[in-house]
Structure 1
Amino acid sequence: MKLAMTLMIRDAADVIEANLRYHHAQGVDVFVVADNGSTDGTVEILERYEKAGLLRLERMPGQLTEVWGSGRTKIARLAFELGADWVIHNDDDEFWWPLTGNLKEALGAIPEHFGMVVAPRTEFVARPGEGFFANRMTAREARFLRPPKAAHRTHPQVVLAQTHPGQIWLEDARTNIFSGRPGLRQQGADHSARPNMELTFAPSFPIRILHFPLRSLAQYCHRVELADAAKQLGASEREEVRIAYESGRLEEIYDGLVLSDKQVARGITEGWLVEDTDFRDYLAACPDPLNGGNAPGGSRDWSSERRERELAELQLDGMYALTNYVRRGKSGTMLTASRRARYRALNRAERRLKELERRLKHIERSRWWRLRPRPPRLPHRRSSVRRP
């Protein structure tokens, strides 16, 4: 089996080499990377891997929002052209972590009639300092309840709007009709005529995704700058960040996201954080693919009791991710994260309106309102026009 991984990145020099080194040790045979105009040394790193035959580099400059969908689709189809059997759609700050074996073994064990694996995602919390992120960030959320990602069998007609499982489908040039499927969505109604296009969700969840979104102040500030340039700070939930960026207060926002040792200890005690050094230790043991060396074993050095517990928790988190972020509508199509985000924004607006109405009623019942100064009433003037 040949395993490919796609990435669309920009200015990820602080993390991309660790990402490539880790996933190569996990069995990824080829990386298909779209660079969106990096200027921080990312391209030079990618070119070294390309020269070694481990990576296919596609340069895609321009505004990210304009090249995202077409770029993701292009590199997903390139994975098929390069002979890959499975493809993982990844981001530069995410690390796919199988609980048994390595990634190639985990995906190779999926039965033939299943074509997509959903991977729950969790975040490692931001920590103080500017050193290598994996050495500092060793506390993560206890459960994997973030929006999931997906790996799937390669196909020449795959289309990606996003890397979310419900935003991946297969294209049929004969029709533009979408039919909701329990896996990759398929354009076209005659499913019995094209059974090979059916790619359904596997009922097991063998892989976690470890996410490191906030690695340093400099990385966070640059991330906000790129989001502003791509006009991605307009959403209501990002208004605070946009205002802070425009007023030069991003450091204040970042400091509020960083957890101290005391806060981490409290989170572990309360059960919403866990200390996780397994990834740090595994990454440190991964050899440089450009210099050779043996990759560490994929299996974790865990007791059988811990492995069973971790697998059971991952199955629960996988079902939560699948049912909470990918649902079927009345028309049979997928209700995906983007639509759910709109519903959440509407619910937040309704709650805000109710809160303002409650405050207004409180003000109207107050003594100040009753005794407030009022403008004098003007004398009533009779109309000089007689009415019949």
Structure 2
Amino acid sequence: MTMMVRDEVDIIAPMIEHHLRQGVDVIIATDNGSVDGTTEILEKYAARGHVVLRHDPVHRKQQGVVVTQMARDAASIYGADWVLNADADEFWMPKDPALTLRDVFVNLNKGIQSFLVEVVDMTGPPALAGTGLQRLLYRDLRSTKELNAVGLHSHSTPNAVHVGDPSVTVVQGNHLVSLASLGTPPPELAIEVLHFPWRSWAQFSRKVDNSGRAYLNASGLTPSPNHHGMRDFHRLQDGTLFASYLFRHPTSEDLAEGIASGSYVEERRIADTTTSPAPDVPVDQEKSAREWAFGKVIGGLEYRVRTLETEVAAAGDRNAELAVGIHELEERLGEEKVARIRAQTTLETTLNRRVVRAADRIVHAVHSLRHR
């Protein structure tokens, strides 16, 4: 397993412990200039031989380059059969709870080369601080429309797993690799990732600030308009991120309704096997009611804006198609006009030739009569 981490002190230890229990042989970790104690935790695991620790303090969103090098070294130095490129807030596991990752990959056909793994976002009540592994107990299965309504663009993108290859390239974000996928694991060997991206306001706001500033420092790397990190960074700068953070989490009433509808499904495998290092500092729902309501207003406005943007884009596409159709019609009309002109010219030429020939015959006849 490879991972590039920065300021993940609240979760990095349980994440490493989980994957060691799952049978990962080597964890190559690059610390990206952490200042919150993450580096010291990684050093302890490195001293025990559980982690190969590297350092890259540059903050310019160079994840793709760094992870690619770690993935290549996993094959060329450590002889990896399979490589999982992970983030510190991800817990990889088989869907079958009776299996471990080792069980899966020992029995998995390497001929498939690479495949995508579903990433499931975990949610629950918000908190001011804390790891929250015993609080974020629900698989977030809300529809895209429901996510848009609370200011979220979509669920997390699947991650790519690949066989060990010294020339592999991992694309920024770990979602794509250069090795083509030639199949998928059979259902009994399927794996998934439980993702904990918004563990607390303290962790989330720091991550948004770190990520946004790194993108601003990056050269040649332009995030899309819908990039979740940069959208949150703009909210942080506007002073609306806390309200947005609250609103994207379900209230107790939302949870009850979501559990009944299937939008939230309880998932306790991490909660029951892993300790949270940082204790939770809960959000007082009554005292934060105004912020929660503000988040609802912001989410509603952003949803309306995105809807209008989608409609405008669709109208633009229709206008573009119409313009092409008009252009093609004009071209066809032009061709028909040219054809008519050519036909008319040909007709006139033919008629002129006939007139000339007739005139010649008349002149010849007159000339003959004069000589009789």
Establish whether TM, by shorter chain, passes 0.5: yes
The TM-score normalised by the length of structure 1 is 0.62
CA distance in 1, matches of 2:207, 2:114: 30
Whether the 8 Å contact between 2:63 and 2:173 is mirrored in structure 1 is no
Match for residue 204 of structure 1?
186
Q: 2:63 aligns with which of 54, 63, 68?
A: 68
Distance 1:152 1:143, change over 3 A: farther
The alignment status of 1:18 with 2:18, answered yes or no, reads no
Paired residues in the alignment total 264
Q: Percent identity?
A: 30
Deviation readout 1:147-181 (Å, 9 max, x if unpaired): 2112221111111123555x3115xxxxxxxxxx4
Structure 1 range deviating more: 133-142 or 200-209:
200-209
Deviation readout 1:221-258 (Å, 9 max, x if unpaired): 10121122123697533576344322333222212122
Whether the 8 Å contact between 2:86 and 2:174 is mirrored in structure 1 is no
Map 1:79-98 to 2 at 5 A. Answer: 79-80=74-75, 81-98=77-94
CA distance in 1, matches of 2:56, 2:233: 26
AA aligned opposite 2:102: K
CA distance in 2, matches of 1:212, 1:135: 11
Deviation at 1:47, TM superposition (A): 0.5
CA distance in 2, matches of 1:240, 1:9: 21
Deviation at 1:143, TM superposition (A): 8.4
CA distance in 2, matches of 1:82, 1:37: 25
Which stretches in structure 2 are left out of the alignment for 5+ residues?
Answer: 144-154, 217-221, 277-304, 317-372
Deviation at 1:347, TM superposition (A): 9.6
Decide which structure has the larger Cα Rg and report it.
Answer: 2
Match for residue 55 of structure 1?
51
Whether the 8 Å contact between 2:123 and 2:138 is mirrored in structure 1 is yes
Distance 1:17 1:255, change over 3 A: same
Whose helix fraction is larger, Structure 1's or Structure 2's?
2
CA distance in 2, matches of 1:143, 1:119: 19
Whether the 8 Å contact between 1:126 and 1:215 is mirrored in structure 2 is no
Whether the 8 Å contact between 1:33 and 1:56 is mirrored in structure 2 is yes
Whether the 8 Å contact between 2:110 and 2:163 is mirrored in structure 1 is no
Deviation readout 1:242-294 (Å, 9 max, x if unpaired): 44322333222212122222211111111111011222112259xxxxxxxxx
Distance 1:164 1:47, change over 3 A: closer
Match for residue 320 of structure 1?
none
Distance 1:351 1:14, change over 3 A: same
User: How big is the alpha-carbon RMSD for the aligned residues of Structure 1 and Structure 2?
Assistant: 2.9
Distance 1:123 1:45, change over 3 A: same
Which stretches in structure 1 are left out of the alignment for 5+ residues?
Answer: 171-180, 184-199, 286-344, 357-388
The alignment status of 1:245 with 2:236, answered yes or no, reads yes
Whether the 8 Å contact between 1:69 and 1:161 is mirrored in structure 2 is yes
Match for residue 361 of structure 1?
none
Map 1:341-352 to 2 at 5 A. Answer: 349-352=309-312
AA aligned opposite 1:245: L
CA distance in 2, matches of 1:16, 1:55: 12
CA distance in 1, matches of 2:91, 2:138: 15
Distance 1:353 1:86, change over 3 A: closer
Q: 2:225 aligns with which of 198, 217, 236?
A: 236
